[in-house]
Structure formats: structure tokens, C-alpha cells
Structure 1
């Protein structure tokens, strides 16, 4: 059913859960995993003129290499073929275009599970991919003790007076 499974990664620890799902499916179907890291140049558009894009790009590409290497290690540990790519662009658009151009059968992505105003204000790469990608998209909720939402929830609980 699946021959090529795309797993976009941002290098965060939380995304490993999505990677493990992608690798598990690839193992079951004899598929290849493609790890994709998108260098998002638009994020740094407001930097001062004296800031060098080459320097920032270099740092982001290094982060990208580390991110796709993590995916490689997980896939290789399970005996799954893996290909890696680091590209520049707008993440959601680039992920969808890459999935289409590489004939990916499935996209597996992590989601922070944010809702309400957080999702409205920050947007969601995963949500945009779900709405616009040609192949099916499997979303995996990322579990991380460090997540902003969890930290805010714990802080609110600590401020709430207990009877």
C-alpha cells in the first residue's frame, strides 16, 4: 500500500514519535522513508540588514542535517531504507510540493495538539499540509514534557487556589 513515506522533521525531540510511526509503517509495508527538513527563510525576514543570511542559512542547514540524521538512525535501527533531503521554502507548501513531486504515498507529521487562540495566532504547518496535500496525512500528537502548552497548563494549575 505504501512505497514512499514522507516524514517532515523540525529536529525537535517531540517529532521522534511521528518518525517512529513512519518507520513502523515503512517496515510493515516494505516502504522507504524520506526525511525532509525545510529551511524556512521567511522566519528570518525581519532581521537587521547587517545580519548575514548566509550565516543564518548555514546554522539552519546544520540543524537540518542533525534532524534528518536522527530520522536516519531510527530507520536504520529498524532496517528501513531512508533518504534525506534539506530544502529551502515555506514549510507547508514545500512539504506538499515535495510529496507530490517524489510520489510519496503518505505523509506522517507530528502535531502539538494546540487549539483555540494558539493555533489561530501561530498557524499550523501540519494543519495546512492536511488541508492541501495530495497524499493522505497521518498526524501523530507529539508528547513532550517541555511543550509550551503543557508548561502553561502547569503554571495555571499552580496559580489556581485549592480549597
Structure 2
């Protein structure tokens, strides 16, 4: 069974990954990071022009740092943790990846980052539950 874990720098996402690594250690597990350009442009860009390649590159660098931390988790020992990134909005990015890659089980945290995006990401979990193919586990 293919298991997809929506992964970012939030505590619930880390708990979701640890859960998936413990419960599905014999399965194919992929950690997915969704690069949301608006988060990077609002925090890093000023002015009317945005270098999208740079924004995506920054997101990929952040994702790789998070994936490296994930590989160091005790629960990840001996597990071939696959990783992937997509660009877009979190809920559609997760659902589309799951559909395109025949994922049978999606695991995600109940909410994501802090501040405004934390409030919005609670709705991401709800959208994924409603739209994802197969089983969805939400970890608090």
C-alpha cells in the first residue's frame, strides 16, 4: 500500500510522519511538501516583480532540509522514506499527488504552521478528508 504523508515544519505534520513510520513501516511511505509560492513571496519579496524560479528553489531548499530532519527521526531508522515536492495550494496539491500516484492512504496533521496559515490549514485537513482517494488519517 502506498502511504502519503503531508509534511511541513509544523508539530502536527511531524506527529503524522512519526505515526506513519510506526504504523506503516512495511509500506511505501512518501513525505510530500507542498511549496506554496504566496508564503515565500509575502515573506521574502518586495515590489511588483517576483522571480518564480527563485521562489520555487527556496521552497525546494526548505523541503530538502525538512526531509533530511525527517530521515533522522528514530522512527525512520531502516525505512526507505521517499520524498516529493509539488507547487500549489496545500489541499489540491496533496489530493492531486495522491490521485496521480495511486496513493491508497494519506496521513496528515490536523493543522499546519502557526499564525494565519494555521487557521487556514485546518481547512486543508478537512478538504483532503473530503476529496482524497482512499483512506485518510488525521493526526493531532
TM bucket (normalised to shorter chain) is 0.7 to 0.9
Compute the displacement of 1:96 (Å).
Answer: 0.6
Please identify runs of 4+ aligned residues in structure 1 that moved more than 6 A.
Answer: none
Task: Kindly provide the CA deviation profile for residues 10-47 of structure 1, in whole angstroms up to 9, marking residues without a partner as x.
Answer: 123442111110101212xx101101111112445776
Distance 1:40 1:24, change over 3 A: same
Unaligned regions of 5+ residues in structure 1, if any? 142-163
Which residue of structure 2 aligns with residue 60 of structure 1?
Answer: 59
- Aligned partner of 2:111 in structure 1 is 112
Question: Does the 8 Å CA contact 2:56/2:87 hold for their aligned counterparts?
Answer: no
Distance (Å, rounded) in 2 between the aligned partners of 1:39 and 1:85? 10
Q: Give me the whole-angstrom Cα distance separating, in 1, the residues matched to 2:48 and 2:22.
A: 45
Is 1:35 matched up with 2:31?
yes
**Where does residue 152 of structure 1 map in the other structure?**
none
Which residue of 2 is the match for residue 139 of structure 1? 138
Choose 1 or 2 for highest CA Rg. Answer: 1
Alignment TM-score, normalising by the size of structure 2: 0.79
Which structure 2 residues correspond to residues 113-132 of structure 1 after superposition, within 5 A?
122=120, 124-132=123-131
Q: Which has the higher contact order (CA 8 A, sep 6+)?
A: 2
Tell me, which stretches of 5 or more residues in structure 2 are unaligned? none
| Aligned counterpart for 2:4 among listed residues 3, 6, 12 | 6
